[in-house]
A and B are shown apart, each in its own frame.
Chain A
Amino acid sequence: MLLSALALCLSAAAQQSAPAVAQRLQSYDLSREVFLVGAVVKFDPASVTPPIGAHVLLQTPSGLVDVHLGNAQLLKANHFELNPGDNVRIVGESLASGDITIFAARIVQKGVQAVVVRNNKGFLVTSTSTMSQDQKDALRGVR
């Protein structure tokens, strides 16, 4: 619990300031991962706030955190909905991207349902990534 609270503070703090030069242009690193716990303030499946894609604004004990969830179609394909007031747990990390820092989610969990939105290297998961072999086989015949 203490660790999680600390992690939360660290990640929230990372949102507040510009990254050090040495951290910019970085790749996703599982060892840096932390998790956020909070309540959904706003979910936007197609936010004009960069990076492009779905964002959720999360109220955490340390403040508001804007979290990038990737492509909303993946959430939709998994019948995963986010509504204001939902309590969620997000695994991810602050990731430098050029001149800004984002909180990049890798796993988003609500209740017993969790969806992996980034792979272990930080690249966004697509519906293809989660298809079973049967589902892939069913695509034969596409023309």
Chain B
Amino acid sequence: MKRFLLLLASAAALWTAACNGGGGTAVPPPPPPGPFGLNSLNGTYSFVTNGEVFTGTVVTPLARVGSFTANGNGGITGGVEDVNSAGAASLAIPITGGSYTVTGDGRGTLTLNLNSPSGATSVNFGIVLTSNSDGLMIDETSTNTQASTGSGNFVLQTGGPFTVASAAGPYVFDFSGLDDTGAPDSIVGEFNASGGVITAGVQDENDNGNIPATPTPVSFTGVLAADSLDPNGAADLSTFGRGVASLNGINYVFYLVGGNRIRFLSTSGGEMLAGDAVAQNNTIPANTAALNTSFVFIVSGASGNGGVTRIGRFTANGGSVTNVILDTNNGGVFHLTGGSGGGGAVTAASITLDAVNPGRGVVTFKDPSLGVPFTFVFYLSSASSAVIQDVSQGNQGATDVADGSLAAQTGGPFSSSNISGTYALNWSGLSLQNGAEDEEDFVAQAKISSLSLTGAGDIFQFQNGVIPDIVVGGTITAGGDGTGSGGQRNTMSVNLTKNGSSTVNFVVYVANPGLAFFANNQGTTRVVAGILKLQQ
């Protein structure tokens, strides 16, 4: 499977912390009035997208991370970005200018002009603001020299001017992508930063399915520094938070979003790994006796079928685990664990927390219809959020390479009374398009009222190109209380209309009325997962 599914889940985690068929041509309605405008994007923002690029000869994976400054009036005044394509890095590419639009509903466009090694060019994105401080984005670049897509987000950088000491304290992280052979790789862990020195690092890695017989973290150290090879290294660190890092022997560039978040992209060794580290606060429970919370979670990544998403929920009460539901889409093969209509109630469910690695734990449960138990390792960044990695052990290693996020479930029961307002949504993954299997990215804004969706969005299918301003409709069903206590789960049906129409059906796991994870649970032409986030 592909790294973009891995990375979608990573992005989703750290927030909590194609059309076919018949139908007529739909004319997008004018943007609804809303609180957003050009002045909503004002300041310096760190961005990341993960997807793929076509350079005229071959399609390859692509991850980009960078920082841009928006002037609040439609102009981009500067920035810098780094790109890793299939392990080949292009570093510290100056952003010389650009432009953006934002309409009242928070949707817009972003163009970054680049002074790249191969000449001046630009890259284009579709964006949806989730607040004045952050938003979701997809790469929509399609020029005569390069086409690229991918999903990601941007976050206002605060706390500058930056130094390496701006990163301070404990962090948890989730890096995913490809190893140096192009095989899927996932690393989750935690470290402590102080004055540019990384200590107390521990990580769990699932590299091409190679995992220990029982989840066992590996220790590491590292450093953060200004980039001495970047002609603007000092200024790029101070203004855009950009520096270089070495973690467990792998070199990265990093961008300080602030003291609470650092974005990483690998730059050497042939790997293509990207992800965020988020500050770990002091609310994490010290032991399972203090862990009495319901959680939703999502992981996505690579399997023998191509791509896999696993999305579900459970209730932790002390060391026990109950009310487990898990929906799996393994390359278009669907399976429900637990819940009504599943393979029966799970057995041997438990959760543990490490005594020595704060916030690290393992949750496991057995689907009676499957041969081996599901096992996930997680690192809590707070009492309510974590990064999570699938370490389910098959006969010859992990059954897949997948990671994502875990979030406490609060604010239920969920119904039309609290799942209401304007939301940004983004999904990413694989779909069949124009006779091939390739990447699909979607970003949209929708108003949810009485559990009906109305809005607009952009979709980029790599074989078909970008389709902007698609009319978005649909419905959400709130199954019971939405927490799974009755075996029910929530669903969402999204209708996309423009020169035809199609419907994508999802299962939705609501973390809280402002955030939900979803993955398609019907149809054999897609393996996609995403997030729904209330606009602030």
A interface, CB within 8 angstroms of B: 20-31, 45-46, 48-54, 68, 70-73, 77, 95-100, 102, 104, 118-119, 121-131, 135-143
Please, which residues of chain B bring their CB within 8 A of the CB of A25? Answer: 367, 370-372, 374, 392, 394, 399
Kindly identify, within residues 60 to 107 of chain B, every residue whose CB is under 8 Å from any CB belonging to chain A.
Answer: 60-62, 81, 83, 85-90, 93
Q: Which of A23, A121, A143 contacts B123 (CB 8 A)?
A: A143
B533 to chain A, nearest CB (A): 27
CA distance A28 to B183 in the complex (A): 14
Which of A71, A135, A142 is in CB contact (< 8 Å) with B53? A142
Q: Nearest chain-A residue to B430 (Cβ)?
A: A52
Can you list 23 A-B pairs with a CB-CB distance of less than 8 A?
A24-B369, A24-B371, A27-B209, A27-B396, A29-B396, A50-B333, A52-B305, A52-B524, A53-B306, A73-B437, A97-B304, A119-B181, A123-B208, A127-B60, A128-B86, A128-B87, A131-B58, A131-B60, A131-B182, A140-B89, A141-B90, A142-B148, A143-B83
A130–B60 Cα gap in the complex (Å)? Answer: 11
Write out the residue numbers on chain B whose beta carbons fall within 8 Å of the beta carbon of A51: 305-306, 330-333
Interface residues of B in 93-136 (CB under 8 A from A): 93, 114, 116-118, 121, 123
Q: Are the CB atoms of B333 and A121 closer together than 8 Å?
A: no
Within the complex, what minimum Cβ distance (angstroms) separates A109 from chain B?
A: 20
Does A72 lie within 8 Å of B371, measured CB to CB? no
Q: Which residues in A have their C-beta under 8 angstroms from that of B436?
A: 45-46, 72-73
Task: A77 to B182: give the CA distance in the assembly, Å.
Answer: 16
When distances are taken between beta carbons in the complex, the residues of chain A under 8 Å from B60 are 127-128, 131, 139, 142
A75 CA / B525 CA spacing, docked (Å): 19
- B430 contacts across to A, CB distance below 8 A: 52
Complex Cα spacing A106 to B67, Å: 41
A52 touches B394 (CB 8 A): no
Q: Which 9 residue pairs are nearest across A and B when measured between Cβ atoms? A: A27-B394, A51-B331, A129-B182, A50-B332, A98-B335, A51-B305, A139-B88, A143-B116, A128-B182
Q: Which A residues are in CB contact (< 8 Å) with B435?
A: 45-46
* C-alpha spacing A49/B332, complex, angstroms: 8
A77, A121, A135 pick with most chain B CB within 10 angstroms: A121
Docked pose: A77 CA to B438 CA in angstroms? 14
Chain A: minimal CB distance from B58 (Å) = 6
The CA of A121 and the CA of B209, in the complex, are separated in Å by: 7
A48 to B331, CA, bound (A): 11
Residue of B whose beta carbon sits closest to that of A96: B371
| Cβ A139 vs Cβ B333 within 8 A | no
Interface residues of B in 364-411 (CB under 8 A from A): 367-372, 374, 392, 394-399, 401
B286 interface residue per 8 A CB criterion: no
Give A122's nearest chain B residue, CB to CB.
B304
Max chain B Cβ within 10 angstroms of own Cβ: one of A46, A52, A99, A127: A52
Minimum CB–CB distance for A46 against chain B, Å: 4
CB closest chain-A residue, reference B272? A128
Among B88, B178, B435, B524, the most chain A Cβ lie within 10 Å of the Cβ of B88
Min C-beta distance of B505 to chain A, whole Å: 15
Asked whether B48 is an interface residue with its Cβ less than 8 Å from the other chain, the reply is: no
**CB distance B395 to A27 under 8 Å?**
yes
Contact mask for chain B residues 299-321; partner A; CB cutoff 8 A; 1 contact, 0 none:
00011111100000000000000
Pair A128/B90 contact, Cβ less than 8 Å: no
| CB neighbours of B90 from chain A (8 A) | 140-143
Task: Please tell me if the beta carbons of B181 and A52 are within 8 angstroms of each other in the complex.
Answer: no
Most buried by A among B184, B306, B525: B306
The reply to whether the CB of B192 lies closer than 8 angstroms to some CB of chain A is: no
Q: A49-B524, A119-B183 are in contact. Are A141 and B118 (CB under 8 A)?
A: yes
Cross-chain contact of A128 among B61, B307, B398 (Cβ < 8 A): B61
Does the CB pair B305–A97 fall under 8 Å? yes
* CB atoms of B88 and A97 under 8 A apart: no
Q: Known contacts A50-B332, A53-B331, A73-B438: does B114 contact A143 (CB below 8 Å)?
A: yes
A137 cross-chain contacts in B, Cβ below 8 A: 88
- Closest-by-CB residue of B relative to A27 is B394
Q: Is B259 an interface residue (CB 8 A)?
A: no
Are B432 and A124 neighbours in the complex by a CB distance under 8 Å?
no
Task: Please tell me if the beta carbons of B371 and A23 are within 8 angstroms of each other in the complex.
Answer: yes
What is the minimal beta-carbon distance from A53 to any residue of chain B, in angstroms? 5
Q: Which residues of B contact A127 (CB under 8 A)?
A: 58-60
A111–B430 alpha-carbon span in the complex (Å): 31
Contact A124 B182 (CB under 8 A): no
Docked-complex contact A136 and B270, CB < 8 angstroms: yes
Q: Is B283 an interface residue (CB 8 A)?
A: no
- B525–A99 CB distance below 8 A: no
Interface: B55 (CB within 8 A)? yes
Q: Are B332 and A52 in touch, CB under 8 angstroms? A: yes
* Docked CA distance A100–B369 (Å): 12
Choose one: A31, A97, A98, A131; the contact of B86 (CB below 8 Å): A131
B203 CB within 8 Å of chain A: no
With A28-B209, A136-B86, A142-B88 known, 6 other A-B pairs at CB within 8 A are: A24-B369, A51-B305, A52-B307, A73-B59, A121-B208, A141-B118
Chain A residues near B394: list those with CB within 8 A: 25-27
Q: Is there contact, CB below 8 Å, between A139 and B86?
A: yes
* Nearest chain A CB to B118 CB, angstrom units: 4
With contacts A98-B335, A126-B2, A142-B146 known, is A52 near B306, CB below 8 A? yes
Q: For residue A130, which residues in chain B have a CB less than 8 angstroms away from its CB?
A: 182
Closest Cβ–Cβ distance, residue A130 to chain B (whole Å): 8
A71 pairs with B399, CB closer than 8 A: no
Judged by a CB distance under 8 angstroms, whether B353 is at the interface is: no
Docked Cα-Cα span, A130 to B306, in Å, equals 17
